[in-house]
Structure 1
Amino acid sequence: MTHPLPSTSRSLPIALIRAREGVMAPIREMLSETGITEQQWRVLRVLAEHGSLDTSTLADRASLLFPSLTRIATTLRNKGLITQTRDEVDRRRQLIEITEAGQKIIDDRADQAAQIVADFRAALGDDNYETLLDLLAQLDPGSSN
């Protein structure tokens, strides 16, 4: 027996895509004058938060496929926003670190980024905001929740 599909207005994949667009719109606006993409911003944010990381860990924490990170890292390195070095012990392992110029992009937009978060928290309420993050983590196969 075939089960009817839910209405597209109640489809989780479609709802997530719509929500992503709503969340990303103010971030795209914030980044519009920087010359960096959303993905590049994520890489810089992760590096600013965690310090030097190997490429596999960085790709995972920035939610990027490894080939995409390779391309993004090349662009960020060419812009002087990150450095890439070989691990002293395991020469196959690449370490990526944010530069002062990359950190300046994060620092210059920290207040604006924090306001974007505050606006979402205000729209949802603190409890709903935290609950939403917890529920989304349950759908993440790489999450420890």
Structure 2
Amino acid sequence: MVRRLRDQATWLVNRAHVRAHADLQRAFSAAGSRPYYFRLLAALDELGSVSQADLGRAVGMDRSDVATSLVVLVDAGFAARVPDLLDRRRNVVEITAAGRVELDRLGAVLDEVQRDFLAPLTDDEQRVFLGLIERLGDS
């Protein structure tokens, strides 16, 4: 590595991001899915019935990416559009029973990627790393 970059936090975080992103894409692709689908299913599982716009905000995804991904998830039976109980003029999105099964399957894929990504670190280092990276992401 170039000496001037060795101590640059932004450069190092970017390198780790590139590796993590490639690992995630490869693992989810091998499982016949995409990381976006996991993000959306996880949010639906946690949030319950939610508008498409609120879902996108919850996971930090662009509206068009949410819309495109939801078409796939709804067509696969992993999510459903249902009338909003508070406003029958609009629909909300919710996870289905099949979506929860898919979420668990993809969760196992994600867990394996996390183990591989963090493998160079000890358990204590992993806890410290996760705490620090969360603080950096929240600031």
Normalised by the size of structure 1, how large is the TM-score? 0.69
* Alpha carbons of structure 1 residues 87 and 111: separation in structure 2 relative to 1, 3 Å: same
Tell which deviates more after alignment, 75-84 or 93-102: 93-102
Alignment match, 2:114: 117
- 1:100-139 mapped onto 2 (5 Å cutoff): 100-139=97-136
- 1:1-145 mapped onto 2 (5 Å cutoff): 7-91=4-88, 94-140=91-137, 143=138
The answer to which structure has the higher helix fraction is: 2
Tell which deviates more after alignment, 16-25 or 45-54: 45-54
Give the Å deviation of 1:8: 4.0
Q: Deviations over 1:17-47 (max 9, x none)?
A: 3212322333323322443222122112332
Q: Is the 8 A contact 1:120 1:129 kept in 2?
A: no
* Alpha carbons of structure 1 residues 120 and 33: separation in structure 2 relative to 1, 3 Å: closer
Q: Which amino acid aligns with 1:97?
A: E
Which ranges in structure 2 are unaligned for 5 or more consecutive residues? none
Give the Å deviation of 1:63: 2.4
CA–CA separation in structure 2 for the residues paired with 1:34 and 1:66:
25
What RMSD in Å do the two structures reach over aligned CA positions? 3.0
Percentage of identical aligned residues: 25
Which ranges in structure 1 are unaligned for 5 or more consecutive residues? 1-5
